[in-house]
């Protein structure tokens, strides 16, 4: 793999940081971050859609976007979606009003499952941010891919694959969690 010193390295470092953080906070909190990421993804996309539908093009929104030094309305909505997503993931991780309590086995299988959750958490968060940057709605579909993301996918192997396989990153954590729910106790004992 040809590792470029720009976006490829940034994505790789960000991936390692999120995975490492997930290993530090433990399996239960990593699952909590994953579940919070799903909720944050839907909420950020919905909030961006509402802002786009009701406020984009209004004088107030254009003035706020200009004051925030955004090139246009669409970029301001994209920035808002990413900001809402990141803030909600952090808030769910720190203050989420739900508890995850899985079997606390000390086996190698338990650690490997935690490692899988950590990698999936990093992949979900990074691919979500990239898809939100693309300008395409996760909920409603449609939208046009932003020029910024197009230039990134042209420059970066990792960005291109994170965006191209985003549905895998969206589905895999849920499938692993479901599988863990069925066979977790036997696997981790």
What tens digit of pLDDT does each residue of 156-182 get? 888 888 888 888 999 999 999 999 888
Q: Is residue 87 part of a domain?
A: yes
Separation CA 45–CA 106 (nearest Å): 38
For residue 131, how many C-alpha atoms fall within 13 Å in the half-sphere facing its CB?
26
Mean pLDDT of the chain: 86
Residues in the chain: 189
pLDDT (tens digit per residue) in 57-72: 888 888 888 888 888 8
**Rounded Cα distance, 84 and 129, in Å:** 11
| High-pLDDT (> 70) share of the chain, % | 88
For the chain, the distance separating the N- and C-terminal CA atoms, rounded to the nearest angstrom, is: 38
What values do phi and psi take at 128, rounded to 5? -65, -45
Give mean pLDDT, residues 130-153. 74
Residue 128 confidence (pLDDT): 93
Contacts of 114 by beta carbon, 8 Å cutoff, 6+ apart: 22, 23, 26, 27, 30
Residue 148 lies in a domain: yes
What is the per-residue pLDDT across 80-128, written as a single tens digit (0 to 9) for each?
Answer: 999 999 999 999 988 888 888 887 667 888 889 999 999 999 999 999 9
Least confident of 23-27, 108-112, 146-150, 183-187: 183-187
pLDDT at 105: 67
Q: What domain count does the chain have?
A: 1
pLDDT at 4 (0 to 100): 47
The CA distance from 134 to 104, in Å, is 39
Q: Is residue 1 part of a domain?
A: no
pLDDT at site 56: 84
Q: Which of 10-19, 131-140, 162-171, 177-186 has the highest mean pLDDT?
A: 10-19
Supply the range of the domain harboring residue 36: 7-188
């Amino acid at each position: 793999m040809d590792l470029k010193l720009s976006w490829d390295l940034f994505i790789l470092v960000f991936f390692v940081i999120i995975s490492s953080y997930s290993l530090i906070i433990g399996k239960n909190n990593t699952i909590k971050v994953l579940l919070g990421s799903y909720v944050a993804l839907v909420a950020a996309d919905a909030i961006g859609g509402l802002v786009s539908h009701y406020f984009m093009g209004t004088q107030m929104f254009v003035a706020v976007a200009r004051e925030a030094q955004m090139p246009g309305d669409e970029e301001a909505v994209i920035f808002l979606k990413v900001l809402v997503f990141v803030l909600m993931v952090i808030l769910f991780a720190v203050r989420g009003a739900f508890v995850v309590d899985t079997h606390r086995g000390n086996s190698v299988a338990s650690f490997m499952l935690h490692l899988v959750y950590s990698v999936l958490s990093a992949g979900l968060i990074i691919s979500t941010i990239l898809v939100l940057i693309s300008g395409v709605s996760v909920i409603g579909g449609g939208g046009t891919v932003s020029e910024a993301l197009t230039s990134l996918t042209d420059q970066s192997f990792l960005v291109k694959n994170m965006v191209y396989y985003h549905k895998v990153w969206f589905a895999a954590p849920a499938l692993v969690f479901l599988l863990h729910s069925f066979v977790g106790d036997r696997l981790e004992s």
